[in-house]
Amino acid sequence: MAKTQRPKGRPLKEIGKRIKKIDARFTQDEYDIILELEKTLGVRKTDLVRTRLLQDARLTIVNAKELIGFLDKIGAEMGTCGNNINQLARYANILKKKGVLSPIVSERFNILFEQYIQYQKQLEISLRKIIRIGGS
């Protein structure tokens, strides 16, 4: 009678098999931190590095050149808005001196100016968040 042999060991992993390797060098201080985290968290060094590197990787890695380009465009747009506001205020003052400024126009200008100030505050808060994230 032929005896069928049972497979020994764990079944081979077909999907999600890790076949690529990345080497990294650390200073002694950095390595000591990793060892401390390994002991504290009870996680292997490779799993620790993998998790820290890949967790929200797209959110934490910033393309500085692209970010500066966006900030430059935002700054230019804010400057343009400021110029437009100054021109409108100047024209409104001229109309007011002539006594032909409509209260509706003045009211609408004030509403739009308040909106602009709110947008500027939101932008300032967002820029502070970006600075905090970039600084850490």
CB 88, CB 109: distance < 8 Å: yes
Lowest mean per-residue pLDDT among 11-20, 49-58, 81-90: 49-58
* Predicted local distance difference test score (pLDDT) of residue 121: 92
* Predicted local distance difference test score (pLDDT) of residue 56: 64
* Predicted local distance difference test score (pLDDT) of residue 54: 82
Q: Quote the mean pLDDT of the chain.
A: 84
Q: Give the model confidence (pLDDT) of 58-105 as tens digits.
A: 555 566 778 888 888 988 998 898 899 899 889 989 998 999 988 888
> What is the mean pLDDT of the segment spanning 17-30?
89
* Predicted local distance difference test score (pLDDT) of residue 9: 81
Gap between the Cα atoms of 84 and 96, Å rounded: 18
Gap between the Cα atoms of 131 and 25, Å rounded: 28
Q: Give the model confidence (pLDDT) of 110-126 as tens digits.
A: 898 999 999 999 999 98
> What is the mean pLDDT of the segment spanning 19-23?
86
What string of DSSP letters covers the chain?
-PPPPPPPSSPPP-SS-----------HHHHHHHHHHHHHHT--HHHHHHHHHHTTHHHH---HHHHHHHHHHHHHHHHHHHHHHHHHHHHHHHHHHHT---HHHHHHHHHHHHHHHHHHHHHHHHHHHHHHHHH-
